[in-house]
Amino acid sequence: MTDQNGDGGRTPKRANISAIAEATHTSRKRAAAILKAADRRRDARGTYLFKEACETITALIDPSRSVGHQAGGDASALSDGVAGNISALSGAKAAHEVARTRRLQIETAKLEGRLVDREAVTALARDLAVHVRSGLSGVGARTAADLAATNDPAKAQAIVDEAIHAALARLSSLDTYILGDSTE
C-alpha cells in the first residue's frame, strides 16, 4: 500500500480523500472539489493516486483558504510549498493595502488643500521670481532723475532706500502680483 519516496519517509501509493486533504492541509470537501475540477478520478474503492492528487491540489489551491483549516492559522504547520505561497500572498496583500492607503492619504491631502502638484508650485515660483526681478529692476530708472539732481550723499541714500521700500511694498502685495500693478 505504500512505497518509499526519496527522503526516507513512507507515502501511500493510493489514498482516500481524507488522507489527501490532511496531507495538503485543506478540507475534504475542498480537496474533492479541486480533484473533480482537475478531472482526477477515484478508483472503484474510492481512492486516488496519492502523489498525483497532492500535487494537483497544491498547484490549484488558493493558499489563503487553507490557512485556517488544519493549521489553525499557524502557517508553520503547513508544508513548505503551501506556507511559502501563503507568506507571498500575505506580503502582496499587505503591500497592496499600504499602497492603497498611501494613495488615499495623498488624494485626501489634495482635496483638503494641504498638498499641491509639484508642477504648479514650480510654475508659481518661476512666475514670482520674474515678478520680483521686474519690480526691482525698475528702481534704477525711477530714482535716476532724483539722484542726478542731488549732490548730497545722505539725500541720495534716502532716495534709493525709499524707492527700494516702495518696490518691496508693491511686490509683497498679493493682489498686485495676481492682478498686476497699474502704476508700472
Regarding whether 70 and 14 lie in a shared domain, the answer is yes
Q: How far from the centroid of its chain's Cα atoms is residue 44's Cα?
A: 53
Query: Is residue 39 situated within a structural domain?
Result: yes
35 occurs within a structural domain: yes
Cell numbers for 93: 496583500
Domain containing 56: what range?
Answer: 2-89
Percent of the chain with pLDDT over 70: 74
Q: Is residue 99 part of a domain?
A: no
Would you say 20 and 50 are in contact if contact means Cβ atoms under 8 Å apart? yes
Question: 47 with 16: CB under 8 angstroms?
Answer: yes
What grid cell was written down for 1?
Answer: 500500500
Considering the domain boundaries, does residue 16 fall inside one?
yes
* 129 shares a domain with 67: no
CA distances from 71 to 38, 63, 67, 68, 92 (A): 25, 12, 6, 6, 21
| pLDDT of the residue at 84 | 59
DSSP helix/strand/coil, 14: strand
What confidence category does residue 6 fall into, taking pLDDT thresholds of 50, 70 and 90? very low
* pLDDT higher than threshold 80 for residue 10: no
- Res 104: pLDDT: 92
pLDDT-derived band at 105 (thresholds 50, 70, 90) equals very high
Asked whether the predicted pLDDT for residue 26 surpasses 80, the reply is: yes
- Between 180 and 139, the higher pLDDT residue: 139
Distance CA 30, CA 17 (A): 10
Residue 19 lies in a domain: yes
62 and 132 together in one domain? no
109 part of a folded domain: no
Taking residues 133-162, report their average pLDDT: 87
- What predicted TM-score, i.e. pTM, was given to this entire model? 0.37
Same domain, 68 and 22: yes
Degrees, nearest 5: CA angle 72-37-5: 65
The stretch 59-80 carries a mean pLDDT of 54
As for how many domains the chain has, the answer is 2
